[in-house]
Amino acid sequence: MPTKQVILWLLGLFLLGTIVYFISGRYSVDNLSQPTNQETRQLDDTGQPPSQTDQSLVAQNNRYQNYSEGAFTAAQDQRRVLFFYAPWCPTCRPLNQQLSENTNQIPEDVVIFRTNYDTSTKLKNQYGVTYQHTFVQVDRDGNKLKIWNGGNLQDLLENIL
C-alpha cells in the first residue's frame, strides 16, 4: 500500500510541475507556429534563420559557397572540394566561420562547397562519406581524388592536391 501512495505523490508532483511550467510563461504556443512562406525561404538547413555569416557567405565570394549542382558544374575547371558540413556539428561550425572570414586565404583556383551532411544523401553515398566534417576533393569529371576528415583551415589547405 505505501508504494501506491508514493507513486500517486510522484504523479501529483509531476502534474503540478507541468501546470506551473505552463502558467509561468516559459512555454509559448507561439513558438510552435509554422513559418510563413516568406520565413521558410529564409531558413537554413536546420530550419533556423541563417546567421549573418551564412547570408554573406554565398553573396560575397566564389571560393567558399553552398553546394548546388549548377555551381559545382560551373567550377569544373577549378580544384573542387566538398566540405560535408552539419549545422549541429561542434567541429564544423568553427571551420565554417574560419572559411567565411578568410576566403582570401583560399587559392583562387580552389572552390570549397559547403555540402549539407544531413540532406546530401546522394553525394554522401557517391563519395563514401560516413560522417560530417569530411572533405572530398574531386577531379574535373567529379571523380574522387582524395578524402579526409577534420582539421582547421590550414589543415584543409594543406590537404588540397
Residues in Cβ contact with 98 at an 8 Å cutoff, skipping those fewer than 6 apart: 152, 153
Distance CA 106, CA 112 (A): 9
Among 9-18, 49-58, 147-156, the range scoring the smallest mean pLDDT is: 49-58
* Higher local confidence (pLDDT), 74 or 21: 74
Asked if 131 contacts 148 with a C-beta cutoff of 8 angstroms, the reply is: no
* E strand map for the chain: 64-66, 79-85, 110-116, 134-138, 144-149
Asked if 46 contacts 92 with a C-beta cutoff of 8 angstroms, the reply is: no
Q: 3-class DSSP state for residue 119?
A: coil
Tell me the average pLDDT across 103-126.
93
Decide: residue 66, CB within 10 A, 0-12 exposed, 13-18 middle, 19+ buried.
middle
Report strand pairing: 64-66 vs 110-116: parallel
pLDDT of residue 5: 83
User: Which of 19-33, 42-56, 128-142, 147-161 has the largest mean confidence?
Assistant: 128-142
pLDDT of residue 81: 94
Complete domains list, the chain, with CATH: 2-32 (no CATH), 51-159 (3.40.30.10)
